[in-house]
Amino acid sequence: MRKEMNVGLLGFGTVGTGVLQIIQDHQDKLAHQLGCAVNVKKILVSNLEKKRDVNVESGQLTVDPQEILDDPDIDVVVEVMGGIDDAKSYIRHALENRKHVVTANKDLMAVHGSELLELADKQDCDLFYEASVAGGIPILRTLVEGLASDRITKMMGIVNGTTNYILTKMSKEGRVYNEVLKEAQALGYAEADPTADVEGLDAARKISILGTLGFSMNLNLDDVDVKGITDVTSEDLSYGDQLGYTMKLVGIANRCEDKVEVSVQPALVPHDHPLAGVDDEYNAVYVYGEAVGETMFYGAGAGQLPTATAVVSDLVEVLKNKRLGVNGNSVVIPQFDKKLKKDEEIFSKYFLRIHAKDVPGTFSALTSLFDEYGVSLEKILQVPLNDGKLAEIILVTHGVSKKNYETVLEKLNDTDVVVEVKSSYRVEGEIKK
C-alpha cells in the first residue's frame, strides 16, 4: 500500500481553492482516518500568474489537462471547473485511464450523469457528486448509505436558494416579484440573467439527480415537468397564507409501485410541514422512506466552504474505497427501468384562484363542472371585487388526477360565469409517502 494518495484538481476558482485549503488544514486528521496522506499533485488553471488566496507550491499549477489526466501517479481527479463540454471530456478521459472522479457539477450530472456513471462502473471507478445538490447537506450520501436498507417513496426539495429567497421576501414582506428579484440581484443572491433559477431549471437538474439515486431509475432533465416562479403574485401568497399554506418552489419526486413522477413548481405546503419553515436562501430535502418515515435535511445550498466540505467528504470516501479495494462498487447504476406516470396517474390537491361574475348561479355552474370530472372541494374562500360586480373565488380541491384537473381548467375558460382563471398551484405535503 502506498504512503500517499495523489489528487488532481480540475479548476481553481472559489470551490477549488476551498478544497485545497481544507486538505491543507486537515492533513493529520485525513491521514489518521485513511491510513495514508493526501497530496494535491496538480491543479489545472487557466492563468498561471494569477494571485491565489491559498499556498501553492511551484510546479503545482498547470494549464495542460493531460498533465493530470495522463499522470499514472494521480489516483483521483476532482472536477470543480464547471461547464459541460470540457468537463465531460476530461472526466471521460480520467475514467478511461481508471482514475476515480469527484465532481460538483450538477449541470453535467443532470444531463450526462447516466453515461458517465456507466463508464465509471465499467472501469471499476468511483464517481461521486455530493456537492452537486445542496452543498451544505450530505443528502446523496444519506440516500445511498444511511437509507440503504430502506425504500424511498417520496422526495420533496427546496433546492434553489435564489428562488427561496425571493418567495420568502415576497411572502413575509408582502412585496412583488420584480422588486425582490432586483434586490436579490443587487445583493448577489441572484445572477444578472436569473433564468435558470427563476424558471426552475436549476431545481429540475437537482431533483432529477435526487430522483435517479433515490428511486434507482435513470431520470433525466427531460422527465421533469418544470414551472418557475415568475408568475407568482402577492395575492396568491396572501390567499395561500389565509388558507394555511406557504408557497415554495418545490422539486417533487414521487414513487408509487414501480412508477414515478418528477416535477418542479411553485407549490403550497401546509404551514406545519417541515419545508414551510425553510426560509431565505436555505435549502432542504424532505425524504419519506418506508422504514425511517419522515426525515428532512436542512442547510446552506451553496457557498465556498459548504461546497468544498462536500467535495472533500467525497474524496475521503473514494480513498477509503481504494484501500478497501471496493472502488466502483458504490457507483449506483439505476436498477429499475424508467416508468413515468401518465397524467391520469398523477394525483394531487390544487389551489385555484378565479375571477367570476358575482351573479346567482355562478357557484352551481362551477360545481357542476367540477362534479363532472370528479373534482371535489376541500376549502372555499370568496371575496367581492369591484363593488360586488366580480367575485374572487379561491378553491382548494381534494386529490384529483392531473388529467382531470387540467381538463377542468380548460373548460373553466369556456364557462359564462368565469371572467378569468388567475392562478393555479399544486398543494403538497398533506399526504405522506
Phi-psi region of 97 (alpha: psi -120 to 50; beta: other; left: phi over 0): alpha
Stretch that binds a second copy, among 6-14, 176-184, 316-324, 412-420 (CB under 8 A): 316-324
Strand runs labelled E in 97-244:
100-103, 127-128, 152-158, 225-226
Nearest to 236 by CA among 353, 391, 405: 353
- If DSSP codes are grouped into helix, strand and coil, which group holds residue 386? helix
| Nearest distance in Å: CB 171, a second copy | 11
Q: Which stretch binds a second copy (CB under 8 A): 54-62, 197-205, 309-317, 410-418?
A: 309-317
- The span of 53-61, 152-160, 184-192, 317-325 binding a second copy (CB under 8 A) equals 317-325
Cβ(385)–Cβ(355) below 8 Å: yes
Strand order in 61-62's β-sheet? 61-62, 37-44, 4-10, 76-79, 100-103, 127-128
Reply yes or no on whether 206 is catalytic: yes
Question: CB under 8 A: which stretch of 20-28, 214-222, 412-420, 425-433 binds a second copy?
Answer: 20-28
User: Taking CB under 8 A as the rule, does residue 432 contact a second copy?
Assistant: no
Residue given cell 430502506 in the structure block = 150
User: Cα(419)–Cα(267) distance, rounded to whole angstroms?
Assistant: 24
Binding of a second copy at residue 54 (CB under 8 A)?
Answer: no
Which SS3 state, helix, strand or coil, does residue 61 take? strand
Q: Within 249-308, which residues bind a second copy (CB under 8 A)?
A: 272-274, 276-279, 282, 291-300, 303, 305-306, 308
Check the annotation: does 191 bind a ligand.
Answer: yes
Indicate whether 182 belongs to the interface with a second copy (CB under 8 A).
Answer: no
Say how many residues touch a second copy, by CB under 8 A.
52
Of residues 224 and 275, the one with the C-beta less far from a second copy = 275
Residues 378-417 within binding reach of a second copy (CB under 8 A): none
Active-site option among 206, 341, 349, 402: 206
Work out whether 39 is an interface residue with a second copy (CB under 8 A).
no
Sorted by sequence, the CB contacts under 8 Å of residue 384 that are 6+ apart come out as 358, 390, 391, 392
Separation between Cα atoms, residue 38 and residue 6, nearest integer Å: 6
At residue 282's C-alpha, the angle toward residues 281 and 284, to 5°, is: 145
Give the H/E segment covering residue 34.
helix 27-34
Residue 328 or 374 with smaller CB distance to a second copy: 328
Residue (245 or 350) nearer to a second copy, CB = 245
Sequence-distant (≥ 6) Cβ neighbours of residue 419 within 8 angstroms:
354, 355, 356, 357, 390
16 is an annotated ligand-binding site residue: yes
Is 55 near a second copy (CB under 8 A)?
A: no
Q: In the numeric block, which cell numbers belong to residue 168?
A: 420568502
Query: Per CB under 8 A, does 309 bind a second copy?
Result: yes
**Contact string 323-362 vs a second copy (x = CB under 8 A):** xxxx--xx--------------------------------
Establish if 313 lies at the interface with a second copy (CB under 8 A): yes
Tell me the CA distances in angstroms from 269 to 237, 256, 366, one per residue in order: 11, 20, 25
Residue 412 grid coordinates: 373553466
Pair type for strands 400-401 and 347-357: antiparallel
Q: Tell whether 370 is in a known binding site.
A: no
> What is the contact mask toward a second copy in residues 146 to 175, using x (rule: CB under 8 A)?
xxxxx-------------------------
145 counts as binding a second copy under rule CB under 8 A: yes
The region of 136-144, 209-217, 256-264, 374-382 touching a second copy under the rule CB under 8 A is 136-144
Residues that bind a second copy (CB under 8 A): 22, 25-26, 29, 32-35, 136-138, 141-142, 145-150, 272-274, 276-279, 282, 291-300, 303, 305-306, 308-309, 312-313, 316, 320, 323-326, 329-330
Which residues are documented as binding site for NADP(+)? 10-17
Q: Active-site residues: which are they?
A: 206
